Amino acid sequence: MSTELQPMSLSRPRLWRWIVGTIAIVVAWQILGFALTAAFARFFDYDLELLFSVDDADLAKVRELPAWSTGATVLISFVPLLIATMIAYRYLLKRPLKQLFTSAEKYSWRKTWIGFAALSVINLVFGLADFIVNNGDYTWSWDASAFLPYLLICLTLLPLQTTAEELFFRGWLQQWLDNGKKKLWTVSLFNGALFALPHLANPEVAGNQIYLPVISYGATGFMFAWVTYRDKGLELAIGAHFANNFLTGLLVSTADSALPSVSLYMTPDVAWGPAAVISVVMVPIFIWLTKKWSAKVSA
């Protein structure tokens, strides 16, 4: 069956629909997401202030809690973002829901796996290089008894979180930005900047000069936006975003990470200088690799 790209729509939704929809999505995300996190925290008897703290001592206390339950408590907050984005797209913009995901005739799971594989390979190569060069920064931290329940969370709630972010940032917001008049670079730069903003509230950013985290998160957002614009679909970005968070949770995590994990190794706080450089270097590699692999699949 052909997967030739189809026109997104004959008419573009009015500006007020995008504005009202964006406000509604963000409000639903923040209010309902917080309510779900509070409900989970109450169920597990966790202190909400502790979970949202960026203090080093509090982060250490959070890491003493079971990773699967604290992870579930944090990740459940993204479910309203996922649902609200789809509802707003379908009923406020009055567009077929499939067009939020892709402009092709059908969603390509092959591309999702390509995105996952490409970013996994890149992260593993850079990670191995850093492990060799800075081996002293790595501490073995894996807890076998906690692995299976945490893996279950990674395979259920984690893809909901990463997909929710892609639907909102590379789906909703990028389609708003891409009015047919803006160039690839412009859309990708704007989208990368928007993607960086909410991540600046993460605990690993607290106390750091803000420009390096902006570069790091912004480069990642730029990369996902570029391939989404190029392929007119979210498949690559959805797979790559999940790969990034999945590998972080299971292989190497930092002491100030926003999400708890049962990773094999733990490192000190994020070194934002090298992180920013690596994030920028990864962009052309990921763009080239996904284009090369996608072309082979389509051939």
What would the mean pLDDT of 61-70 be, rounded to a whole number?
A: 88
pLDDT (0 to 100) of residue 202: 82
pLDDT for position 208: 65
Residue 63: its pLDDT value, please?
80
Query: What's the pLDDT at 207?
Result: 65
Torsion of CA 246, 138, 224, 239, to 10 degrees: -20
CB 21 within 8 A of CB 92: yes
* Strand (E) or helix (H) holding 265: strand 265-267
> Which residue, among 293, 241, 248, has the nearest Cα to 266 in the 3D structure?
248
pLDDT band at 298 (very low <50, low <70, confident <90, very high): low
Name the residue with tokens 């995590």.
253
The answer to whether the Cα torsion of 293, 287, 243, 73 is positive or negative is: negative
pLDDT value at position 1?
35
Q: Which of 149-153, 205-209, 214-218, 287-291 bottoms out in mean pLDDT, i.e. has the lowest?
A: 205-209
Share the mean pLDDT of the chain.
90
Higher pLDDT among residues 120 and 51, named by residue: 120
Q: Is the pLDDT of residue 5 over 60?
A: no
Helix 79-87 and helix 144-166, axial crossing angle in degrees, nearest 10: 20
Structure tokens at 202: 């993460």
pLDDT of residue 9: 42
Residue 76 one-letter amino acid: I
Measure CA 298 to chain center. Answer: 26
Backbone angles phi, psi at 56, to 5 degrees: -60, -40
pLDDT tier at 3 (50, 70, 90 boundaries)?
very low
Phi, psi torsion values for 291, nearest 5 degrees: -70, -40
Res 258: pLDDT = 66
Q: What is the tens place of the pLDDT at every residue in 224-258? A: 999 999 999 999 999 999 999 999 888 988 877 76
Average pLDDT (40-67) is 86
Which pairs count as long-range contacts for 118-123, CB under 8 Å and 24+ apart, including other chains?
118/236, 118/240, 118/286, 118/289, 118/290, 118/293, 119/239, 119/240, 119/243, 119/244, 119/286, 120/243, 120/247, 121/289, 122/282, 122/285, 122/286, 122/289, 123/243, 123/244, 123/247
Q: Quote the percentage of the chain above a pLDDT of 70.
A: 95
Q: Whose structure tokens read 């690596």?
A: 278
**Which range among 32-46, 130-144, 147-161, 232-246 shows the weakest confidence by mean pLDDT?**
130-144
Q: What is the pLDDT of residue 271?
A: 84
Split at pLDDT 50, 70, 90, the class of 58 is: confident
Q: Which of 176-185, 187-196, 252-261 has the weakest average pLDDT?
A: 252-261
> How much is the pLDDT for 197?
93
Q: pLDDT digit string (tens) for 9-51? A: 448 999 999 999 999 999 999 999 999 999 999 999 999 888 8
Cα separation of 294 and 299, whole Å?
A: 9
